[in-house]
Structure 1
Amino acid sequence: MSITTTTHLNFRGEARAALDFYRAVFGGEVMAISYADAHAVQSPDEADQIMWGQVQSAGGFHVMAYDVPGAMAYDPGTIPVFVSIRGDDEAELRGYWAALSEGAEIVQPLAPAGWSPLYGMLKDRFSVTWVLDIAVAYDA
């Protein structure tokens, strides 16, 4: 048996915009089902919000997202999750960084670090914290 893990992000009314943004950054295809599409509308003003959505690219990027209904408590927390993008192509990583940086708060600029030739952290315009780095072999 094999498994795959996928980051699932929760929003309050911004899931569609976030999925479109991540598709613009990483490529791939957005698949989204609204509460209306699923016949699961709890509040008319939330009918077009996302009940299930994802972006998946041929290059391996995959993230899921949905809009937490207004009837449910939602607290995004201070730093509840980091999404890590790790690769071996510096140019590709820098491209993702440049795109994600639009409207973002830079937590750690993209630069060499003690454990990686390139590492950076930012909080994007949807308050999702991203960590990008070049993967290196661990030498125990």
Structure 2
Amino acid sequence: MSITTTTHLNFRGQARAALEHYADVFGGQVQAFTFAQGGTDRDRADGAVDDQVIWGGVTAPNGFSVMAFDVPPGRSYDPGTDAVYVSVRGDDPEEITRFFRGLAEGGTVRADLGPAGFSPLYGMVTDRFGVTWVLDVAASW
């Protein structure tokens, strides 16, 4: 038996835009289903917006995978402060640099991309959707 884990991000009306941005940065295709396509009675009771995303994701050939959802207006939603970091680790410094720059567009760099004691290349950025990413090149110990 084999399982995988995928980061699942919650938004309020920005899931599709975020998925499109992540597909631009990491590659892959956006798949998105709206509440109109698959919402439940509970979603409708919570004020789900028909054209917002009930299930979406990006999967890229390089192994990147992320899912996203638009929380309906009738449900509590607070993205919190540093509740989750999405970690992207690779072995190609140029690829990690490209990802970092793409995520930093319109976002806030929290730690410049550079050497760290635990990695030859590390950086942290909060993207324009409020998601914080840590990117690094795996150290060879």
- TM-score tier, shorter chain, comes to over 0.9
> How far 1:3 moved relative to its partner?
1.0
Distance 2:57 2:108 in 1: 24
Q: Deviations over 1:64-122 (max 9, x none)?
A: 00000111100110011000010000011111111111011111000101111100001
Partner of 2:133: 130
Judging by fraction of residues, say which structure has more helix. Answer: 2
Unaligned runs of 5+ in 1: none
Q: Which letter maps to 1:32?
A: A
Instruction: Give the TM-score of the pair, scaled to structure 1.
Output: 0.94
Deviation at 1:56, TM superposition (A): 0.4
Q: What residue in structure 2 maps to residue 82 of structure 1?
A: 85
The match for 1:2 is: 2
Q: Deviations over 1:10-54 (max 9, x none)?
A: 00000000000000001101000000011446237x110000000
| Runs ≥4 residues deviating over 3 A | none
* TM score, norm. by length of structure 2: 0.93
2:111 corresponds to which letter in structure 1? Q
* Identity fraction in percent: 55
Alpha-carbon distance in 2 for matches of 1:48, 1:82:
27
Across the aligned residues of Structure 1 and Structure 2, the Cα RMSD in angstroms comes to: 1.2
AA of the residue aligned to 2:4: T
From 63, 68, 78, give the equivalent of 2:71.
68
